[in-house]
Amino acid sequence: MKPLSTIHAGEYLVGSYIEKHFKKYNVWLPSKDTGIDLLVTNSKNNKTVSLQVKYSKDYTTTHMKSEHHNSFRTWGWWTLNPKKVKASKADLWVFVMQSFAHKTIDCVVIPPKTLVALLKKIHGPKKLHQTYMWVRNDNTCWEARGLSKTEKLSLADGDYENEDRHLTGFLNNWGVMKKTLGK
């Protein structure tokens, strides 16, 4: 076994969140890179959920027009290879967005095959997907990559509707993990 490297910020934030909010669960760090960042078990350690964690800095203050800052809590940006996501051994992918302005952490928790299907439906088949996940202050989350200026304004105003891009059902939703591990 090789010495462990330090975990990245997203892994730390997710592990800390799980330990704080799900006290009966145990969080484990793999000793080598297998495509699984965290392993979560129930208190008896006989049921598991594996997590792939992706962290993004908050782009709200650096890439979003200032007139929209009051509408959005945070915005993350990732580049994903759909083949790698689809082949992932992890049960869930967790996209972590930390808002320094609002002092909050938001996670999009999604099964990898669902993620690939969603991105393909929105953007078509691609070798790489750029994805922007925008979290509004009203606790809704949207896939915003490729939106027109008018659609972005509508999203900022809270009028935007597009079920394909609506990620709110995955926002801070640990239901799959809880269902697998029990309460």
Distance CA 105, CA 100 (A): 9
Q: Write down the number of H helices and E strands in the chain.
A: 6, 8
Tell me: the pLDDT tens digits for 27-80? 999 988 888 999 999 999 999 999 999 999 887 776 666 666 678 899 999 999
What is the gyration radius of the CA atoms in the chain, in angstroms? Answer: 17
Q: Tell me, yes or no, whether 4 lies in a domain.
A: no
* pLDDT surpassing 90 at residue 128: yes
| Residue 174 CB partners (closer than 8 Å, separation 6+) | 18, 21, 22, 109
Q: Tell me, yes or no, whether 1 lies in a domain.
A: no
Range of the domain at 87: 9-181
4 — pLDDT class (breaks 50, 70, 90)? low
Considering its fold, how many domains does the chain have in total? Answer: 1
Tokens of 116: 């690939």
Q: Tell me, yes or no, whether 3 lies in a domain.
A: no
What local confidence, expressed as pLDDT, does residue 3 receive? 57
Note whether 56 and 77 are within 8 A (CB).
yes
Q: Tell me, yes or no, whether 119 lies in a domain.
A: yes
Note whether 58 and 74 are within 8 A (CB).
yes
Q: Which of 11-20, 42-51, 97-106, 139-148 has the lowest mean pLDDT?
A: 97-106
What local confidence, expressed as pLDDT, does residue 130 receive? 95
Tell me: the pLDDT tens digits for 74-113? 999 999 999 999 999 999 999 999 987 778 899 999 999 9
Average pLDDT over residues 138-167: 94
Whole-prediction pTM value? Answer: 0.93
DSSP string, 43-77: TTS-SEEEEEEEEE---HHHHS-GGGTTTEEEEEE
Q: Tell me, yes or no, whether 2 lies in a domain.
A: no
Q: Tell me, yes or no, whether 86 lies in a domain.
A: yes
Tokens of 52: 């792939």
Burial class (CB in 10 A: 0-12, 13-18, 19+), 141: buried
Average pLDDT, the chain: 92
How far are the Cα atoms of 90, 102, 127, 133 from residue 146, in angstroms, in the given order?
28, 26, 16, 12
Q: Tell me, yes or no, whether 69 lies in a domain.
A: yes
Nearest 5°: phi and psi at 124? 85, 175
Q: Tell me, yes or no, whether 19 lies in a domain.
A: yes
Residue with tokens 């908050």: 58
